[in-house]
Structure 1
Amino acid sequence: MTFFRGRRLRKTQSLRDIVQETWLRPEDLVQPYFVVETSDKNFSKEITSMPGQFQLSLFKLEEKVTKAVDNGLKSVILFGIPEKKDEIASEAYNPKGIVQQAVHKLKRKFPDLVVITDVCLCEYTSHGHCGIIEDRHVQNDPTLKLLAKTALSHVKAGADIVAPSDMMDGRVKAIREILDKHGFIETPIMSYAVKYASSFYGPFREAAESTPQFGDRKSYQMNPANSNEAILEAKADFTEGADIIMVKPALPYLDILQRLKDSLFCPLAAYQVSGEYAQIKAASLNGWIDEKNVVLESLISIKRAGANLIISYFTEQVLKWL
């Protein structure tokens, strides 16, 4: 009597390799960086809740990216921390703002590096929300104009891809229109189309200094209980002109990635967020897990679910392992 013997193809590492279905490549990974507007050229501050991640001056950013590029880094995403914040996030769209300077600096030194910029206002507003506030409520349509101005300023500085993460309705359309109007027809938009109001963002808010000063972001980020809504959000952004659709966070929403892979047929990104990173790091530092194997397994699972790109704070480490 014959029966299935799956172990035949698991006997040796060489056999396992030739039938492996999903592989992780340097091209799949994006490293986030937090760049700070500061007069201290050597500013480098480790983020307490994210061991191994730093707030960096422009000089230190270039230094760190240089080492990562030598190890095979292909893509970065930039988050800016301005010296001054106000209610209208004026530093977000300042042509000489911190992210604009960082983009220019990196593209000048690494012309082949894919530089993505996070387009949002929360790091730049005094209240920490992602848009214009009126009566303690985020105003959707007035915010669109500022997001579009921010995206345009990033592209003028040299950004290869802009990534709106604010979750305002219609922002992809507003950004696509302003980019096209100014001749940037070929600049892609990677939309945080499916961004959940997640509890996994805590360490990021320390890193980006973007904690809301009142309330929360549940009126514009998605309810973690909803799945069909994710498909509607993704299709809406794709129709408005998004070239890549992102799901955030990654591991708790692999089912959403799989659904989008089966229904949308466009490039997908997933963000392995700060809370996911912090949990693995904490467990590793306590000796409870094998960090390398857990990280690689988690990233493979994200890619297997459908992600073409993975934004991960582990990227620099993984490049050394690969």
Structure 2
Amino acid sequence: MARSNRRTLLTLLLVWFLATVNMLDASSTLKRFEFRKVLMGVVARIVVYAPDREIAAWACSRAFQRIADLEDLMSDYRPHSELMRLCAEGHLAPFRVSDDLFFVLQRALELSQRSNGAFDITVGPFVALWRRARQTKQLPSEEELHQARQLVGWDKIQLDPENRTVKLAVPNMKLDLGGIAKGYAADCALKVLKRFGLSRALIELGGDIVLGDPPPNRKGWRIGILDEKGKPEKFLELTNCAVSTSGSTEQFVEIGNRRYAHIVDPRTGLGLTKLVLVTVIAKDGITADSLATALCVLGEKEGRKLAEAYGAIAFFRERDL
């Protein structure tokens, strides 16, 4: 083993040992480091407090790699991802999946049931229609919506926890984890950092933020809650939780004197006709990310009830498009 690699390994082992006996938490030894990398279609950002750059860089590289591995599993843009192989083969026979994908699917279906279908990862065929609608400025036809509806429905996914398999009820289903996977990936990245003894960390993936212990000599991380124009309206000091923001404030299409948002209601197959911005504070990233998506569809009255059921806090901004 090269001397530099041996030195890095010994340093990391020392960090891990000190963390286990609560010696690493001395604020005077920690410095702020920030790293960025494009993953999951967004700029992934990690802020961490560590004794030195070498330790911070190594730990963050492992955290980024964990996110990249999850992207390989759950991407709906990569034809050979585990998710896409499930979509292609899952109707033929029960399809065995990884622990990560099975866990995300379980959580997704739980939220689908509790939100009465406002959150639904089978929405892919509807999303494809509305992507085309934004390009052509033409609404999907009733026949196109009808055909897509035959492929949509969270109850068309059957999970077998004992064998960790997934069965899809019909062929050509398109699962889309865009409303849940980034939150889960951020959770996993924080766990990696904690294994290296670096618990004072922030992970950001687009509109999803997961927070560990606060920065040294601070009560929490200063997080801005956005107004409908996307500017911070208020600031909160938060720690050991997750914050996710979702909304239709920027992407929409005008067809027939009516504006339709890029967010699709899985229950109707239509784009939302209201401007909505929802920020959710929850115990972890997978909860905050998926709830933010569901609450955009549900609206404030029903959304607050669902957020409370998950022990989450939600901030709403709504008006007609």
State the TM-score, normalizing by the size of structure 2. Answer: 0.27
Choose between structure 1 and 2: higher strand proportion. Answer: 2
